[in-house]
Amino acid sequence: MAKPRLLSGDRTTGKLHLGHLAGSLQNRVQLQDEYDTWLLLADVQALTTHYDRPQGLAESVRQIATDYLAAGIDPEKTTLFVQSQIPEIAELTILFSMFVTVSSLRHNPTIKAEAKERGYKDLYYGFLGYPVSQAADIAFCKAQLVPVGEDNVPHVEQARKIVRRFNALYGPVLVEPQVKVGDTPRLSGLDGAGKMSKSRGNAICLDATTAEIHTSLRQARTDPLRLTRFDPGHPDTCTVFSYHEAFRAEEANAIREECQTGRLGCQSCKGLIADGIDHILAPMRDRRREALKHPDRIDEILQAGTSHARAVAAHTMEEVRDVMHMNYFSARLSKGAST
C-alpha cells in the first residue's frame, strides 16, 4: 500500500539552526520511514522577505539541502525539490488567488504577527499572499499531511479552506491535507528575547563547531533573578533550561532540581548543555563532511527530486485545467497527433 504523502520544508533564507532541528527536522527524519516525505526548498517564498537579495538564494538552497542530509534525511526515502523550478506551483497560486479574499489574508494571525514584527506598514502583495502560495505547495503534490509548528497552523488551515473551496467550485480533484501540530515549543534565541533566528544573531547553526557551541552558550541568557552562584534559580524563566528540555529531556528534571536548590551554577549548567548539543551535532558533522566531499551529488539529488515533483505537478495541473474548463487545446492536439 502506498504511504501517505507528507509535505514540509523551509524558506531558503540561510543555514538551518537548532530551532529548526528541535521544531521540525528531527521529526521529519523519523517520519520519512512512515510517510512518502516531500521537502520543499521554498526559494520563491524566501523572496517574500528577501526580494532584494536574490543573489544569496542559490547558496541558501544548497546549504539547506546539505543541512537536511547532515540531519539524516535520506534522499532515497524523501523527495527534495526546489519551489521556483516547479512553475505549476505559481500557476496554481494564481488560480487560487481568484477566490481568496484580501481580508481573509489580512486577518491571518501569522501574517499579522510577522508584519508587525518586521515593521511592515504597507504589505507587499507576495508577502500578503504567502498563505495562497503555501496552499499551492500543498495542493500540487496532493499532500495528505502537513506537520507544522503552532505559529504556522493558520497558514495550513487557510490552505485547507482554499482546497475545499476549489473542490466545491470546480470539482473534487485536490486533496484536503491534515495538519499535524508539533508538540515541541518554539526554541528561544540565545538572548532570550524571542525565537531563535539567524538574522537576529541569536542562533546556533547546525554546522557549528564544538568551540562555537560552547562560546555561544556562555553568552546565553539565564535566570535574571539569580544574582549569585548560590541563589536558588528559576529554570522556567531561563533560556538555557529550555535547551535542556529540548535536547536533554531525560536530564531536565535533575537540572531543574539542582538549579532550584542552588546546587548547580550557571556556568556548569551551560557546559552540560553545550556538551549535550555537541553530542547531537557530532554525527551530523560526519554526514555533512561526507556530503560536502561530493557537491555535485547535492545538485543531482535536488534535480532528481525536482523532476519527480514536476511530473506530479504536471498531472495535477491537467486535472485542475480539466475541471476549470481550461484545457483548450489538449483534445485537439491529441487528435492532431493521431492523424
Q: Kindly tell me which of 190 and 320 has the beta carbon lying closer to ligand SF4.
A: 190
Minimum Å gap between C-beta 273 and ligand SF4 is 8
The pairing of beta strand 78-82 with beta strand 36-42: parallel
Binding site for ligand SF4 (CB under 6 A): 222-223, 226, 233, 235, 238, 240-241, 255, 259, 264, 266, 269-270
Q: Kindly tell me which of 95 and 264 has the beta carbon lying closer to ligand SF4.
A: 264
Q: Kindly tell me which of 17 and 270 has the beta carbon lying closer to ligand SF4.
A: 270
- The C-alpha cell 536533554 sits at 248
Minimum Å gap between C-beta 18 and ligand SF4 is 16
Minimum Å gap between C-beta 151 and ligand SF4 is 25
- The C-alpha cell 520543499 sits at 40
Question: What are the DSSP E strand ranges found in the chain?
Answer: 5-11, 36-42, 78-82, 145-148, 178-181
| φ, ψ for residue 82, nearest 5 deg | -105, 125
Minimum Å gap between C-beta 202 and ligand SF4 is 16
Minimum Å gap between C-beta 200 and ligand SF4 is 20
Q: Kindly tell me which of 70 and 220 has the beta carbon lying closer to ligand SF4.
A: 220
Q: Kindly tell me which of 130 and 241 has the beta carbon lying closer to ligand SF4.
A: 241
Cα 129 to Cα 96: distance, rounded to the nearest angstrom: 10
Minimum Å gap between C-beta 235 and ligand SF4 is 4
DSSP state of 173: -
Cα 23 to Cα 124: distance, rounded to the nearest angstrom: 28
Q: Kindly tell me which of 126 and 265 has the beta carbon lying closer to ligand SF4.
A: 265
205, 216, 220, 306 from 223: Cα distances, Å: 23, 17, 10, 46
Cα 224 to Cα 143: distance, rounded to the nearest angstrom: 45
Kindly state the cell numbers that stand for 131.
Answer: 498563505
